[in-house]
Amino acid sequence: MKQILLNENGKKVILLGNEAIVRGALESGVGFSSTYPGTPASEIGDTFADIAKEAGLYFEYSTNEKVALEAAAGAALSGVRSMVSFKQYGLNVSSDSFFPLAYVGVRAGMVIVVADDPNCWSSAQSEQDSRYYARLAHMPMLEPADSQECKDFTKIAFDLSEKFDIPILLRTTTRVNHGRGVVTLGRIVEGRKRGEFKKDSIKFRNFPPYIMGTHEELHKKLDEIRKISEEIHINFSLNEDSRSDLGIVTSGVAFNYVIDALQDLKLDLSVLKLGLTYPAPEDKIRSFIGNLESVLVVEEIEPILEESMSALAKDVNPELRLYGKKNGHLPRSGELKEWHALLAISKITGIKSQYNPIAQKEEYKKLNIARRLPLMCPGCPHRASFFATKSVVGDDAVFGGDIGCYILGMYPPFETQDFVFSMGASQGLIHGIKKVSDQKAIAFIGDSTFFHAGIPGLINIVYNRSNPLIIVLDNRATAMTGHQPHPGVGITGMGKKSKVINIEDVVRACGVENVMVVDPFNIKEMEEAVRESLQKEEVSVIVAKRECQLIAIRRKKREGAIMPNFGIDQSKCDGCGICLYQFGCPAIFMENDKFFIDRDLCTGCAVCVRICPKRAIRAVR
Amino acid sequence: MKEFNIIITGVGGQGVLTLTNVITWSALKEGLDVKASELHGLAQRSGAIACHVRFGNRIYSPLVLEGKADLIFGLEPLEALRSCYFGSRNRTIFLVNTHRVIPSSIFITKEEYPSLSYIVKALRPFSDKVITLDASEVAKNGTGDVVMANMYMLGYACAKNLIQLKKESILDGMKEVIPERHIKSNIRILNLGFKAK
């Protein structure tokens, strides 16, 4: 982390893609940054949180991505350079303000970082390709391929943004965000930290008739940036004098796969690598494809360049054969890998590779490899909440799922996430289900998720009168993405104390009358709360409040507290297996038909002590 | 130098990311180009992780091509097996820590953790050389912390020329990554790896 603030021009350091983006912002004089945590973008915000004070800039974890985008826009409209970052779904959340922002423009440079996650390595939901947003909103987009480009492209984005009075999208994918690489540092620039909002009776008011004017203006800006796109060094071609009649067009991390595949095949095909992908350099593409017989387009997720290519080919080379995702040379789902590019080039050129991934995989498929499912940690309060809920209702209820650590409740033994859509969707869907069915319905939603998108859904339930049970799993942090604080915790992104907003107070203010706050480690009380709530005529909310065990353990260790150890008394244990098969604690294991507790893994939550029917689990020295 | 490809695999919490980062920095200290790929988020909750590191004169892809790993660090035997397709005969050496971390999900899904001999045998089509060592045991005896098994394995790999990095570069790399208060004990374990037979 210390490398981020190093002011040594020309020094080479190793940075994560996400860290390199922050470094690029610092070299651009950024004064304001906001985010809502979401992997694979999370480390951008966390890096800002680490350095904001020392770097003298402002950073915040906003309540959701729409608010984050609006806040960053407010700063930029007031003349302070700003960056907002989020994962692909964050751009969806922010989109209501994102579209008008393109019309309005910015006074100071503003960069919007959106991280796509092909293969859904680190996020749920969908393999969304956010490049469509650039075209939809008419907002220019850059696509870095590695850490060095993350830093360099961020600087280019800030300059373009300010020069053309338009926000710029920086689109990354997981392998760029979570890739490490060598970065040559530039100078950190001291930018404006304070600004002033100067009124403009036309520009900032997204209201007819001004909109038609700003829309026209936006297209003029894009025309200008398209000229830049033709000239800019980040749109370049390699092996221009190649005698092959096949060429490759690529962007983002896929460029690296292409270069390696060509080296493996000992080919020197011409390659057009696009860094500023929207607006695309149409003339450059036309001249690249003009004399080729065929083009392979290698890009991550959807065939966007590929489709624009076929339109451009009509003008200059109607006979051009296009290869890519549309005719099955490259996959339409999942993450792109080097071997995809290798096989596609091999197939088109007829040049055989020594490498045979199919045979490699065949041998692998024969192996018997036990899965290692991701689990809730030992001592996780969500496990206690799920256990208590299921001990009351069994499988006789619809369980609404949401986005957070508790998504892991979808696996056995709980299976308490019957559907997962998006932030806050547990409540929206459960309301609809409850309106048309007589099933018991329980929505699980996390604390940070509740602040993010849970409140409108809850008010809708009260207003439109349905009676599900909502269980807010309040573990006092945005845990899944790295324990970022939220409004319920009372600490800001700058590390300052703030007002603590209690979820139960918000719930009552939304008009809910049946509200209980329960410590889920107290299984009996939690079960009682669930039982009682399910009998109510109106909606009930249980706030299951218990700090994430990882935070609790860290604090206790710091305070020097002695952690209790637990063991199973084999003379009392009758082997019922509730602790392992129904509670599913990773610290409990079975060997030779006997149950044991792994002391290295046990965090001393003692919930197993409470659920053991034989009282066989107790504290040991 | 020509590219050198490494896979580092294990379970969240075993120091996979630290080892990845130390090697990455060490390569930079040698003046090489280097790229690495990690996975965060869901993968970290006691789940399986495989990180990639590639270094050489000029590195493009951050990912090792399946079959083209030169060295695979298996910090956990089952995870070495899970990532074995990155290896191939005539190229890949496996360095496997024999300390098992049993996935607790197998008790619920009723799957079986394979024996060490099954694992070593299963690795053979993907490698000519599989080296096993109980790095966790040495780390635990040496410092009381099993997580430093990663440094023991790195020391071993360096001493036996399984990885083309100088010891000085590794020590410099460690200083960039490991917090100061832990550096001494980590170097001690690295040295134990160097001395191992």
**Residues of B with Cβ-Cβ distance to A590 under 8 angstroms:** 107
Strand, coil or helix: what is B167?
helix
B116 at interface of A, judged by CB pairs closer than 8 A: no
The two structure tokens encoding residue A230 = 């033709």
**A339 vs B82: CB contact, 8 Å cut-off?**
no
Amino acid (1-letter code) at residue A560: G
Q: How confident is the model at residue A324 (pLDDT cuts 50, 70, 90)?
A: very high
What is the pLDDT at residue B142? Answer: 82
- Residues A317, A194 share a domain: no
User: If you average pLDDT over residues A215-221, what whole number do you get?
Assistant: 96
Residues A547 and A428 grouped into a single domain: yes
Q: Examine the fold and report which residue of A204, A231, A258 is the final residue of a domain before the chain moves on.
A: A231
How distant, in Å, are the alpha carbons of A574, A603, B168, B186 from that of B174?
A: 50, 30, 10, 9
Give contacts of B 147-166 with A, CB under 8 A: none
From the list B84, B105, B126, the residue facing A373 with the nearest CB is B105
Lowest mean pLDDT among A319-328, A360-369, A609-618: A360-369
0.95 surpassed by pTM: yes
CB-nearest partner of A412 from B20, B109, B125: B109
Report whether A557 contacts A463 (CB < 8 A). Answer: no
Look at residue B132 and give its three-state secondary structure.
strand
* CA–CA separation, B54 and B35 (whole Å): 5
Q: 3-state secondary structure string, A63-81?
A: CCHHHHHHHHHHHHHCCCC
B178 touches chain A (CB under 8 A): no
For residues A135 and A249, membership in a common domain is answered with no
Task: Give the residue among A138, A284, A312, A316 at the shortest CA–CA distance from A211.
Answer: A138
- Residue A286 sits in a domain whose CATH number is 3.40.50.920
Confirm whether A373 is domain-assigned. Answer: no
- Do B36 and A179 count as a contact with CB atoms less than 8 A apart? yes
Order of strands across the sheet with A514-518? A398-400, A441-446, A469-474, A540-545, A514-518
Q: Half-sphere exposure of residue A269, counting CA atoms within 13 Å on the CB side?
A: 33
Domain identity same for A440 and A522: yes
A70 and A50 share a domain?
Answer: yes
**Domain interval for residue A580:** 562-620
The C-alpha R_g of chain B, in whole angstroms, comes to 16
Taking CA atoms, what residue in A is nearest to B120?
A367
Instruction: Please name the amino acid found at residue A503.
Output: I
* Structural domain ending residue among the three candidates A231, A258, A290: A231
Q: Across residues B87-102, what is the average pLDDT?
A: 95
Name residues whose C-beta falls within 8 Å of residue B117's C-beta, 6 or more positions apart in sequence. Answer: none
Q: How far A380 CA sits from the closest chain B CA (Å)?
A: 11
Residues A392 and A534 in one domain: yes
Q: Would you give the end-to-end CA distance of chain A in angstroms?
A: 40
Give residue A184's identity as a one-letter amino acid code: T
Sign for the CA dihedral angle at A92, A94, A100, A102 comes to: negative
Contacts of A211 (CB under 8 A, 6+ apart): A103
Whether residues A372 and B63 touch (CB distance < 8 A) is answered with no
- What would the mean pLDDT of A64-86 be, rounded to a whole number? 98
A448 and A315 share one domain: no
Instruction: Write down the pLDDT at residue A1.
Output: 58
Of chain A, the percentage scoring pLDDT greater than 70 comes to 100
CB contact under 8 A, B41 and A256: no
**Contact criterion met (CB < 8 Å) for A121 and B43:** yes
**ipTM confidence:** 0.96
A8 shares a domain with A118: yes
The identity of residue A80, as a single letter, is V
CB A238 within 8 A of CB A262: no
> What distance in Å separates residue B160's CA from the closest CA in chain A?
26
A366: nearest CA partner in chain B: B122
Write the pLDDT tens digit of every residue in A281-291.
Answer: 999 999 999 99
Res B169: pLDDT? 98
**Residues within 8 A of A (CB atoms), B 47-86 only:** 47-48, 59-63, 65-68, 78-79, 81-82, 84-85
Phi and psi angles of residue B94, each rounded to the nearest 5 degrees, phi first: -100, 130
Q: Looking at the partner chain, which of B43, B67, B105 has a beta carbon nearest the beta carbon of A122?
A: B43
Mean pLDDT of chain A: 95
Angstroms from A43 CA to nearest CA on chain B? 10
Do residue A43 and residue B176 have CB atoms under 8 angstroms apart? no
Q: Residue A597's domain is classified under what CATH number?
A: 3.30.70.20
* B46: closest CA of chain A, how far (Å): 6
Residues of chain A found within 8 Å of residue B38, distances taken between Cβ atoms:
16, 178-180
Q: Residue A121 and residue B66: Cβ atoms within 8 Å?
A: no
User: Rounded to an integer, what distance in angstroms lies between the CA atom of residue A301 and that of residue A441?
Assistant: 36
Mean of the per-residue pLDDT values of chain B: 93
Closest residue in chain A to residue B47, using alpha carbons only: A374
CB atoms within 10 A of CB B181: 7
Considering CB atoms only, which of A355, A581, A587 is closest to B67? Answer: A355
Of A134-143, A536-545, A593-602, which range is least confident?
A593-602
Q: How confident is residue B41, by pLDDT bands cut at 50, 70 and 90?
A: low
Closest CA of chain B from A75, distance in Å: 30
CATH topology of domain B4-195: Pyruvate-ferredoxin Oxidoreductase; domain 3 (3.40.920)
pLDDT level of residue A537 (50, 70, 90 thresholds)? very high
Determine what percent of chain A falls in helix, strand and coil, rounding each to the nearest 5. 40, 20, 40
Residue A367 in any domain: the answer is no
How far apart CA A404 and CA A343 sit, in angstroms, is: 38
Residue A376 lies in a domain: no
Which tokens sit at B105?
């999900």
The answer to whether B33 contacts A182, with C-beta atoms less than 8 Å apart, is yes
User: Best of B14, B39, B60 to disrupt the A interface by mutation (most A CBs within 10 Å)?
Assistant: B60
Q: What is the predicted pLDDT for the residue at A600? A: 83
Check residue A189 and give its pLDDT.
96
Q: What is the pLDDT of residue A43?
A: 97
Question: How far apart are alpha carbons A48 and A594 in whole angstroms?
Answer: 49
Does the distance separating the beta carbons of B42 and A122 come in below 8 Å? Answer: yes
Q: What is the 3-state secondary structure (H, E, C) of A7-30?
A: CCCCCEEEEEHHHHHHHHHHCCCC
Residue A351 resides in a domain = yes
The reply to whether A371 falls in a domain is no
CA distance A402 to chain B (A): 15
Name the residue among B60, B66, B122 with its Cβ closest to that of A360: B66
CA dihedral A338, A340, A345, A351 (to 10 degrees): 90
Predicted local confidence at residue A339, as pLDDT: 94
Report residue A284 CA to chain centroid gap.
33
**Residue among B62, B102, B111 minimizing CB distance to A371:** B111
Q: Please indicate whether, in this complex, the C-beta atoms of A372 and B36 are within 8 angstroms of each other.
A: no
Measured between CA atoms, how close is A332 to chain B, in angstroms? 20
Report CB contact under 8 Å: A363, B79. no
Instruction: Note whether residue A372 is domain-resident.
Output: no
Q: How many CB pairs under 8 A join A and B?
A: 174
Q: Would you call A402 exposed, middle or buried from its count of C-beta atoms within 10 A (0-12, 13-18, 19+)?
A: buried
How many domains, in total, are found in chain A? 4
Q: Do B103 and A182 touch (CB under 8 A)?
A: no
Segment A330-338 mean pLDDT: 96
Domain holding A171: CATH number? 3.40.50.970
A368 in any annotated domain:
no
Residue A176 above 60 pLDDT?
A: yes
pLDDT for B46 equals: 74
Q: Look at residue A293 and tell me if it is in a domain.
A: yes
Q: Which residue has the higher pLDDT, A434 or A363?
A: A434
Q: Sorting pLDDT into bands at 50, 70 and 90, what band is B56?
A: very high
| A199 lies in the same domain as A253 | no
DSSP, collapsed to helix, strand or coil, labels residue A528 as helix
Both A279 and A342 in one domain: the answer is: yes
Q: Output the pLDDT for position B12.
A: 86
Put simply, the answer to whether A584 touches B21 (Cβ < 8 Å) is: no
Both A140 and A18 in one domain: the answer is yes
Can you list the alpha helix ranges (DSSP code H) found in chain B?
16-29, 77-82, 105-109, 116-123, 135-143, 149-159, 167-177, 180-195
Of A14, A182, A584, the CB nearest to B108: A584
Q: Determine the average pLDDT of the residues in B101-114.
A: 90
My answer on whether A126 and A163 are in the same domain is yes
Q: List Cβ neighbours of A489 (8 Å cut-off, separation of 6 or more).
A: A476, A477, A500
Domain boundary among A199, A231, A263: A231
**E-strand stretches of B17-127:** 33-37, 48-56, 71-74, 93-97
pLDDT computed for residue B42 by the predictor = 57
Q: What is the pLDDT, as a whole number, of residue A500?
A: 97
CB nearest to A12's CB, from B28, B61, B105: B28
Chain B residues with CB under 8 Å of A264 CB are 65
Q: Which of A338, A360, A363 sits opposite B63 (nearest CB)?
A: A338
Contact A271, A250 (CB under 8 A): yes
Q: Which residues pair with B73 in a beta bridge?
A: B8, B95
Contact of B13 with chain A, judged by CB distance below 8 Å, is answered with no
